[in-house]
């Protein structure tokens, strides 16, 4: 029988997972003492963010591999650090898992965390692993940023341009493609009875290849949903070359996150439907599923792209960032509200719809 968490206990698990961890000189004490001991950089500000992901609320074991789950848990926190203009540095993780979870599940989860940490020079310096009837992952990530580079949500000025990175709606289209698969299977077989079972926990890296909507476009957006890329590198380019006045990451949906930025800055916003960057893959999946591609972009969420505002004087510097950026609108006075101009040139009030943690479950 393969090893389970209860065979080795908490102490054994943390030691096991971090046995080969090597630390950079800024970490004086890593995993294994009462707290990590870190030497922060001189003259930098410290950033701190936390996110909790709960099985069957934020993810299901049957549709994400443990490797992807580890990756994504860290990516969502890195995205928050990127949204402040910072560099990701040190993380701690709290994990709750059933005691009969196979050790291989924890190892794959950790591998996903380790890979994304390595990619972005971030180090896991501590953790707490506890027994829980469902998987709960809470990562707290710190970052650093020069005082002059901090970007809050509050600085958008009337006349500023509204800009987003890459394309929007991919993650939501990916989720829809995954859910289509679940629907297909509910019709076709009894697989749903195994959701969250040990067999599925052992499924590790295979799950993402088994989706029902299996077009090339679907595969691309599903990967974007399950393995999002935090825009840390892009953020540094944007901060250094465009001096953004306000920034937020699109975690809950373009409409709701734009409204948050506008609310924090006490301004209005006008965006243009035909300027919103939507990928061919999103259009393709929307077509296949009979869904509205604009809905994916406006209220889908989990894109982890950056949404920010810049002075119009910076518009000529956009290309120099080397980041795919789209100007989608402009900041208006507060009284104007938040609106979207449709392709038919009709102005509509922007409804802040997206993922709200207590209202959708």
Residues 94-153 that bind a second copy (CB under 8 A): 94-96, 99, 125-134, 136, 138, 140, 142-143, 145, 150, 152-153
Indicate whether 217 belongs to the interface with a second copy (CB under 8 A): no
Between 22 and 313, CB nearer to a second copy: 22
Find the part of the chain contacting a second copy (CB under 8 A) among 28-36, 62-70, 223-231, 335-343. 28-36
Separation of alpha carbons 188 and 215, rounded Å: 19
Separation of alpha carbons 209 and 194, rounded Å: 18
Which residue from 239, 245, 248 is spatially nearest to 49, judged by alpha carbons?
A: 248
Site string for a second copy, 310-339 (x = CB under 8 A): ------------------------------
Contacting residue, 83, 87, 172, 229, with a second copy by CB under 8 A = 83
Indicate whether 351 belongs to the interface with a second copy (CB under 8 A): no
What values do phi and psi take at 120, rounded to 5? -115, 25
Between 49 and 63, CB nearer to a second copy: 49
Spatial neighbors of 40 by CB under 8 A, at least 6 apart, are 26, 46, 144
Indicate whether 249 belongs to the interface with a second copy (CB under 8 A): yes
Indicate whether 299 belongs to the interface with a second copy (CB under 8 A): no
- Residue ranges in 161-200 that form contacts with a second copy under rule CB under 8 A: none
Contacting residue, 8, 182, 195, 233, with a second copy by CB under 8 A = 8
Asked if 185 contacts 278 with a C-beta cutoff of 8 angstroms, the reply is no
Beta 338-341 vs 268-272: how paired, if at all? parallel
Asked if 252 contacts 314 with a C-beta cutoff of 8 angstroms, the reply is no
Indicate whether 38 belongs to the interface with a second copy (CB under 8 A): yes
Asked if 293 contacts 278 with a C-beta cutoff of 8 angstroms, the reply is yes
């Amino acid at each position: 029988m393969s090893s389970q968490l209860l065979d080795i206990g908490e102490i054994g698990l943390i030691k096991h997972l971090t046995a080969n961890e090597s630390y950079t000189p800024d970490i004086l004490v890593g995993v294994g003492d009462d707290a990590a001991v870190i030497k922060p950089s001189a003259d930098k500000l410290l950033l701190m963010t936390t996110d909790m992901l709960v099985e069957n609320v934020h993810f299901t074991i049957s549709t994400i591999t443990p490797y992807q789950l580890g990756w994504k848990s860290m990516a969502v926190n890195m995205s928050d650090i990127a949204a402040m203009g910072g560099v990701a540095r040190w993380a701690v993780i709290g994990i709750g898992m059933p005691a009969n979870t196979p050790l291989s599940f924890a190892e794959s989860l950790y591998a996903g965390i380790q890979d994304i940490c390595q990619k972005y020079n971030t180090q896991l310096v501590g953790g707490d692993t506890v027994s829980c009837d469902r998987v709960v992952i809470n990562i707290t990530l710190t970052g650093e940023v020069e005082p002059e580079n901090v970007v809050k949500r509050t600085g958008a000025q009337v006349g500023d341009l509204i800009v987003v990175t890459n394309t929007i709606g991919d993650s939501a289209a990916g989720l829809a493609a995954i859910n289509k698969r679940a629907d297909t299977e509910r019709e076709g077989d009894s697989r749903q009875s195994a959701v969250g079972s040990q067999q599925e926990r052992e499924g590790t890296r295979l799950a993402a290849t088994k989706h029902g909507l299996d077009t090339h476009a679907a595969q691309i957006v599903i990967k974007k949903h399950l393995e999002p890329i935090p825009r840390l590198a892009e953020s540094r380019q944007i901060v250094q070359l465009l001096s953004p006045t306000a920034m937020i990451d699109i975690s809950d949906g373009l409409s709701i996150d734009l409204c948050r930025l506008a609310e924090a800055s006490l301004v209005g916003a006008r965006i243009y439907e035909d300027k919103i960057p939507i990928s061919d893959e999103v259009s393709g999946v929307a077509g296949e599923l009979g869904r509205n591609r604009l809905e994916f972009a406006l209220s889908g969420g989990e894109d982890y792209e950056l949404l920010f505002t810049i002075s119009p004087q910076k518009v000529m510097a956009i290309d120099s960032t080397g980041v795919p950026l789209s100007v989608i609108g402009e900041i208006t006075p507060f009284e104007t509200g938040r609106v979207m101009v449709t392709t038919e040139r009709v102005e509509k009030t922007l409804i802040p719809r997206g993922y709200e943690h207590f209202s959708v479950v």
